[in-house]
Amino acid sequence: MKMDALHVQEQDGLSRRGFISATVAAVGAAAAVTGLASPHAGAAQQSVGRAVSPADIASLPRVKQQLVAPPFAPKHDQVAKGGPKVVELRMVVEEKLIDVDGSGARIWACTFNGSVPGPLIVCHQDDYVELTLVNPETNQLPHNIDFHASTGAMGGGELTAVAPGEEVVLRFRATKPGTFVYHCAPGGQMIPFHVVSGMNGAIMVLPRDGLKDHQGNPVRYDRIYYVGEQDFYLPKDANGKYKQYDSLAQGMGDMLEVMRALTPTHVVFNGAVGALTGDNALKARVGESVLVIHSQANRDSRPHLIGGHGDLVWTGGSFNDTPSTNLETWFVPGGAAMAALYTFHQPGLYAYVNHNLIEAILLGAAAHFQVEGEWNDDLMAQVVAPRPIMA
C-alpha cells in the first residue's frame, strides 16, 4: 500500500478517522493471519475476563498520577496500599523541534508530554489506567496511543485517535504485571514515522505485593530511572549536512526515505546525545539498589552497565517470571521495556550503554551513573600503578 504521508494531514477529521480505522483494521487482519492475534493460554490468563459493572469501577478510589519527564519516575508505592484504584493521567501531545546532538542535527519530534521518550507511568496490577490524551490545535497531525500493557482495540489505538484540537479519555485495566512500551500508532507508515519521531514511552505495572527476587523474596529499590532508547533517521543534504525543516510535515517525506534503509543516524538515550551523561549523569550511592527501566519501541537493544551487572533482570519484561540473576548484558527486543535491578558496591563513574558499541559511542546510546561512597579494595584494587616493564 503506497500512502502519501501528507495525505493523512490534508484530509478533514472524518475522512482522517476513516483512514485510521481502515489501516488499523488492515493491520489487525494481518496480525490474525500471522497468528499474532491468537489467544494466550493457561496461567497467563489469570484474572482477565472478570465481569465488572460500570458501578464497580465508579466505586473505586481515584488517584491522579503526576507524570514527570524521564529519566525520573512518578511518585509511587512499591507495594500497593489497599485494593485496585483508577489511576488518572493526562498526556499532551507536543510536536516540537528538538536538538539531537548539538551539531545541527534536529528533528521535529512527536512527543507525549514534550519529552523523548514520554513519561514513565507506574501502577499496580489490576489498577485501572485512565488516560486523557490531548492533541492541541497547534499540532499538525492526528495521534493516538497503543499500550502494550492493555488488552483489545489495538492496545487502545482504535479508541484514542485524536485530531488537532481534540482530546480523548481511555481506560484500561492493567491485568499483567511487568514493563511495557506505549507508543503512537496512527495508521500505515505514520506508525513507524511517529515512533521514530519520539512518540513512545513505557509503563511499569508492579505486582500488588511488589517485586520478588529469583528466590521469591521481596525486593525493594532505593531509586528508579527510566532510560528510553530512541533511533532517529535524520535526512542529510548532498554535502552530508543535516537538513533543516520548518515543520514536522515538511520533513516527513525525506525522513521516510532514510527510514527505509534501516540505518539510524542516531541511537540515543532520552532524546539526545549526552542527555544522561556528564552533568546529566544518573545519581546513586554505594549500597543503593537502583531499578532501571529500559525501553526501545522500534529496535533491539542490549544494555550493559560497565563496571556493574544486572543483579536481577526481568528479561522478558514480565514480573510474573523469575528474574535472571547476575547478567552482564541483557536483551531488549524492539517494542519492549525491561527492568533491571543493581546494587552499587563501588563509587565512581559507570557507563550504561547499548553494548553494540558502535551505537553507544558513535551514535549516542550511552548514559552515566555517578556513584558516591567508599571504595572497596576487596572488590578491586590497582596493586601496582603503571610502571616501566621490570622483567
* H-state helical runs in the chain: 5-10, 13-33, 54-58, 190-195, 252-260, 357
Residue 136 preceded by cis peptide, ω within 30: no
Q: Which is nearer to Cu ion, 107 or 184 (CB)?
A: 184
How far apart are CB 17 and Cu ion at their closest, in Å?
Answer: 15
Residue 204 near Cu ion by CB under 5 A: no
The closest alpha carbon to 223, from 281, 296, 180, 177, belongs to 281
- Separation of CA 254 from chain center: 25
Q: Which is nearer to Cu ion, 194 or 294 (CB)?
A: 194
Residue 255 near Cu ion by CB under 5 A: no
How far apart are CB 183 and Cu ion at their closest, in Å?
Answer: 8
Return d(Cα 351, Cα 370) in angstroms, integer: 9
Interface segment toward Cu ion; rule CB under 5 A; list 183-191, 224-232, 301-309, 354-362: 183-191
Interface segment toward Cu ion; rule CB under 5 A; list 83-91, 178-186, 250-258, 318-326: 178-186
The closest alpha carbon to 235, from 134, 343, 107, belongs to 107
Amino acid at 324: S
Q: What 3 state SS string does 80-132 have?
A: CCCCCCEEEEEEEEEEEEEECCCCCCEEEEEEECCECCCCCEEEECCCEEEEE
How far apart are CB 71 and Cu ion at their closest, in Å?
Answer: 22
Query: How far does the chain reach from its first CA to its final CA, in angstroms?
Result: 70
Residue 199 near Cu ion by CB under 5 A: yes
Burial pattern 269-303, b for ≥16 Cβ within 10 A else e, equals: bbbbbbbbbeeebbebebebbbbbbbbbbbbebbb
Q: Which is nearer to Cu ion, 133 or 327 (CB)?
A: 133
Contact 253, 245 (CB under 8 A): no
Nearest position to Cu ion, beta carbon: 184
Q: Count CB neighbours of 335 within 10 A.
A: 17
Interface segment toward Cu ion; rule CB under 5 A; list 37-45, 194-202, 288-296, 371-379: 194-202
Q: Which is nearer to Cu ion, 166 or 288 (CB)?
A: 166
Q: Which is nearer to Cu ion, 108 or 221 (CB)?
A: 108
Interface segment toward Cu ion; rule CB under 5 A; list 79-87, 131-139, 140-148, 157-165: 140-148
How many angstroms separate the Cα of 195 from the Cα of each of 37, 143, 199, 231?
22, 11, 5, 9
Interface segment toward Cu ion; rule CB under 5 A; list 67-75, 95-103, 136-144, 290-298: 136-144
Q: Which is nearer to Cu ion, 118 or 303 (CB)?
A: 118
Residue 143 near Cu ion by CB under 5 A: yes
How far apart are CB 197 and Cu ion at their closest, in Å?
Answer: 8
Of 73, 107, 109, 110, the one binding Cu ion by CB under 5 A: 110
Of 124, 148, 194, 294, the one binding Cu ion by CB under 5 A: 194
How far apart are CB 231 and Cu ion at their closest, in Å?
Answer: 16
Interface segment toward Cu ion; rule CB under 5 A; list 52-60, 102-110, 124-132, 343-351: 102-110
Residue 184 near Cu ion by CB under 5 A: yes
Total residues contacting Cu ion by CB under 5 A comes to 5
How far apart are CB 187 and Cu ion at their closest, in Å?
Answer: 10
Q: Which is nearer to Cu ion, 159 or 363 (CB)?
A: 159
Q: Which is nearer to Cu ion, 110 or 340 (CB)?
A: 110
How far apart are CB 110 and Cu ion at their closest, in Å?
Answer: 5
201 forms bridges with which residues in the sheet? 182
Q: What's the burial of 102, exposed, middle or buried (CB within 10 Å: 0-12/13-18/19+)? A: exposed
The closest alpha carbon to 95, from 84, 103, 87, 107, belongs to 107
For 260-293, give the DSSP string: HTT--SEEEETTSTTTTSGGGPEEEETT-EEEEE
Indicate which residues carry an active-site annotation: 143, 146, 148, 183-184, 194, 199, 304, 328-329, 355
What 3-state DSSP class applies to 8? helix
Q: Count CB neighbours of 5 within 10 A.
A: 16
How far apart are CB 64 and Cu ion at their closest, in Å?
Answer: 24
CA atoms within a 13 Å half-sphere pointing along the CA-CB vector of 389: 1
Write out the residues near Cu ion by the rule CB under 5 A.
110, 143, 184, 194, 199
